[in-house]
Structure 1
Amino acid sequence: MTMSTTVENISETTEEAAQVFARNAVAVGFDDLPEGVAEMTGKAIMDTLGVILPASTTSVEARLLAEHVLDFGGKGESTVLGFGTKAPAWLAGYVNGAMVNCGDYSDLHPDAAHISSPVVPAALALAERQGGVSGRDLITAVAVGVDLQCRLTRAAAAQPGGVMAPWHPAPVFGVFGAALACSKLLGLDVNQTVDALGIAFTQAAGTQEIVFGKDSTIRGFGHAVPGEVGVRAAQLAQLGISGVRNSLDGPRGLWNTYYRGIYDRELLLGGLGTRYDVLNDGFKPWPSCAFTHVFVDMVQELQRENGFAGDEVESVLVTVGDFARGQTEPLEEWRRPANSMLAKLSVPFTVATVLHTGNVTIADYAEEKRVDGEVLAMADRITSRFDPQYNFVSGAGFPGGEIEIVLRDGRVLRRQQPRAYGHPLKPMSWDGLIAKFRDCAAYSARTVPPADLDQAVEGFRTLESVDDVGALIALVG
């Protein structure tokens, strides 16, 4: 177990971490990326772009936001994905960032949650604005940005007792990761990159209330700000506007202000340039909260092994830890979630869906499905119990769970799993990710012609050979 760093035990001569990250980002090239990093980053880019597209038709809020932003007008630089209309790059980054998590479908690192979705929307928007950005250059920029996002999140997890900090890592750390990726795309030097990180720091904000609050649908917009700030911070630094120089380690910098000076400096800086935690990233096979996934996976495994249908189920008992307990109790509330976003969080509703249909898809969270009588009747057969062995511990990955299904013929089926499909130890294949991407594209407000979709899939599959990623974005945007 690594030791936490506090403000008291950092030497006055310790170099500002923003300077270290800036210097590394400027120096690294595509050929410097360790084996596997380019491929995994390419997967993250494709997956992130893909999960943005469905929000254009499945999220009323996303459509209203897109219409609001497009009403501003301005120079058409970058695509508002799913709608096929262009806006100024920083506004396109904002809308695409807002849409990236509307479906709760973006990538999922077991120790750092969503590491690509705060970074990729900004990088895509700026790359399209710049024009002529190669796949190799995009991969390199996203790799350093995602690496920073992951390092910040993991370093912050070193809180006493594994207690979750109140800050939401996607918007708070995302502005740094997005700004670093965009600085790399613009070819900024070290001082300009430090400035960009310092400018981004002034916008770092957002608490976990966006996750736990049940009275709004704004939760899906949690990754919006990095998409805007990343583009804008890098552009302002390029113009010569200076930012905070000690944004991470300063007396009123990120760590001292947001985390009481407590973080893990080894996780933050150790192996920089050689250790890329994107290699441990995971991708979601189902469009719902990660804490529901182990139960979806267990139901599907039991169905494959025992061949039962939903109408054969008498009762279901799910065993959950503390975090999933908050998405299970009170049962009456979570059996009938008040909106689609809460449905994606609900363990009973999601388990009922997979028992009833055999899978969990984007369409299963549409309004008509949320009030489907047969799904709700199945949810009424689901109860829960708490077991602290499945408690969430920050930095220790997403916990497993147990399920017991009693069938009407008297059979009792039980399963326990430490992790779900999509976890890096149980990963999705390229074929699985491509199937997911195609399915997401089918929900785009702008119809994607089959030939264009095929070309886009091939382009993302071989992203390092693409000469201009803007042309690739145009195929599906």
Structure 2
Amino acid sequence: MTEDNGNGAPRDAVFELADFAVGASFDSLPPDVIDMTKKGILDTIGVILPASTTSPETRKLVDLMLDVGGKEEATMLGFGRKIPAWHAGYVNGAMANCQDFSDLHPDAAHISSPVIPAAIAMAERIGKVNGKDFITAIALGVDLQCRLTLAAGKPGGRMAPWHPSPLFGVFSATFACAKLLNLDADQFVNALGHAFMQAAGTHEIVFGKDSTIRGFGHALPGEVGVRAALMAQAGITGVRNSLEGTAGLWNVYYQGDYDREALLGDLGHRWIVRQDGFKPWPSCGFTHVHIDMVRELTREHDLGPDDVERITVTVGDFAHGQTEPLEEWRRPTNNMLAKLSVPLAVAIAMQKGDITIRDYFDEHLTDKAVLSMADRVHSRFDPQYNFMPGSGFPGGELEIVTRDGRVLSRQQPQAYGHPKKPMSWDGLIAKFRDCATYAARPITDHDLDRATRMFRELEAVDDVSKLIALIG
């Protein structure tokens, strides 16, 4: 395809991406990319399950979808109920970040949760999709999510107002679904054009403090990905130059300021998922380095909560906004704000030794012991820990002053879960099993055992619907 993009430059990037996707196969994926993709699938499905019981908003959304009704095609994970595929993609996408627990690439943020809910729904709708094809489609979608995000957020650049998970997620989810449908290159272009017409979502879902909708930030890709691919399959023509056209994504959303090489360079060779990270704690990634430092210092010095006189966290600009005003962040008013709070995360880790999903339940946000510890948490700003898009999550410092006068300090560039301090398969399976205990539809130990084996050997699975049935 050699179409002009409308502003004099030949061949919109969308055509390059479409040609690449059509030619890609499981056999073209490097083994480490296959491994990381399988981990992303395990982790994403796992973090969806708890929302079925821990999020009141999710229950209301599910009730709305059941009231609408429709063809039973795909599973609402955790509930075991089936609804139309793109509705299921929306619900599962909405649940994917309710715990703020989904994977976290240091440079591209949440890369699996915008893609996998749509791919699951599409695979169930199609039926008898094998593990190799499922892995391939998701690897392609996740790679596009990474490339779009990195193309927009150049190292050292200004953070754009757009949130990459919903904005780029509609493209990456559509990419995966189009591959599952075995669309040709022209249909891929049409599908991405349909996705472009629904690309939206700003960082206000993070900054807005009067709403818990932040947890639903990945819902739209789950729906749009399924619908856009099906529309293209049906022969409905979409926007053709959706990325680089005169009024395409980059020119309208980013004023033409993007890195084309980051988007298209070394397709099929530079797999950004290789540097993906996974969250050991259900809170914002900016809290994790401080949680990790608390755990390390308490282990090294055999500290207990009663030993602590004062804790000082040193943060950069982004985490500073999750630390000050200090009184406000010591006592967040809802659980989504609580997951953003650096002082509260440090207090929970210090008081309880770890942080679990349950620690962010509303009834635990008024725990007197935790709040007393939060009152002992103070902050210091240091610009060396400022966040620069495309440069990875910044580190931080922690200082604990004990009641007997000791001053204990630590500095870390990364937290556990970062690709330089990675979670193992065993660690991810333990996280998955814990998440599964919160599912609205109970999952037996036998089914969990079978499911975790299937995740690890997903390329050998003849029908991924069988796996979803075990844990859905």
TM-score range for the pair, normalised by the shorter chain length: over 0.9
2:268 paired with 1:289? no
Q: TM-score if structure 2 supplies the norm length?
A: 0.98
Q: 1:79 aligns with which of 67, 75, 80?
A: 75
Q: C-alpha displacement at 1:235, in angstroms?
A: 0.4
Q: Which amino acid aligns with 1:118?
A: P
Q: 1:100 aligns with which of 77, 96, 109?
A: 96
Q: How does 1:62-461 map to 2 (within 5 A)?
A: 62-158=58-154, 162-461=157-456
Aligned 8 A contact 2:7 2:245 in 1: no
Distance 2:285 2:154 in 1: 21
Q: 2:15 aligns with which of 12, 15, 19?
A: 19
Q: C-alpha displacement at 1:378, in angstroms?
A: 0.3
2:452 paired with 1:462? no
Q: 1:52 aligns with which of 44, 48, 52?
A: 48
Q: C-alpha displacement at 1:12, in angstroms?
A: 3.3
Aligned 8 A contact 2:159 2:389 in 1: yes
Distance 1:242 1:95 in 2: 27
Distance 1:344 1:464 in 2: 35
Distance 1:377 1:14 in 2: 62
Aligned 8 A contact 1:108 1:281 in 2: yes
> What secondary structure is seen at the aligned counterpart in 2 of 1:402?
strand
Aligned 8 A contact 1:158 1:262 in 2: no
Q: Which amino acid aligns with 2:265?
A: G
Distance 1:317 1:258 in 2: 39
| Structure 1 moving runs of 4+ over 3 Å | 10-14
Deviation string 1:247-270 (CA, Å, 9 cap, x unpaired) is 001000000000000000111100
Aligned 8 A contact 1:97 1:121 in 2: yes
Aligned pairs, how many?
467
> What secondary structure is seen at the aligned counterpart in 2 of 1:71?
helix
Q: C-alpha displacement at 1:311, in angstroms?
A: 1.6
Q: C-alpha displacement at 1:11, in angstroms?
A: 8.8
Greater shift in the superposed pair: 355-364 or 408-417: 408-417
Deviation string 1:216-235 (CA, Å, 9 cap, x unpaired) is 01000000000000000000
Structure 1: give runs of 5+ residues left out of the alignment.
Answer: 1-9
Aligned 8 A contact 1:180 1:230 in 2: yes
Deviation string 1:140-168 (CA, Å, 9 cap, x unpaired) is 00000000010000000128x52100001
Aligned 8 A contact 2:323 2:341 in 1: yes
User: CA-atom RMSD, angstroms?
Assistant: 1.0
Distance 2:182 2:263 in 1: 24
Q: TM-score if structure 1 supplies the norm length?
A: 0.97
> What secondary structure is seen at the aligned counterpart in 1 of 2:90?
helix
Greater shift in the superposed pair: 77-86 or 14-23: 14-23
Aligned 8 A contact 2:7 2:246 in 1: no
Deviation string 1:296-332 (CA, Å, 9 cap, x unpaired) is 0001111111111112111100000000000000000
Q: C-alpha displacement at 1:30, in angstroms?
A: 0.1
Deviation string 1:64-119 (CA, Å, 9 cap, x unpaired) is 11111111110110000011100000000000000000000000000010011000
Q: 2:26 aligns with which of 26, 30, 43?
A: 30
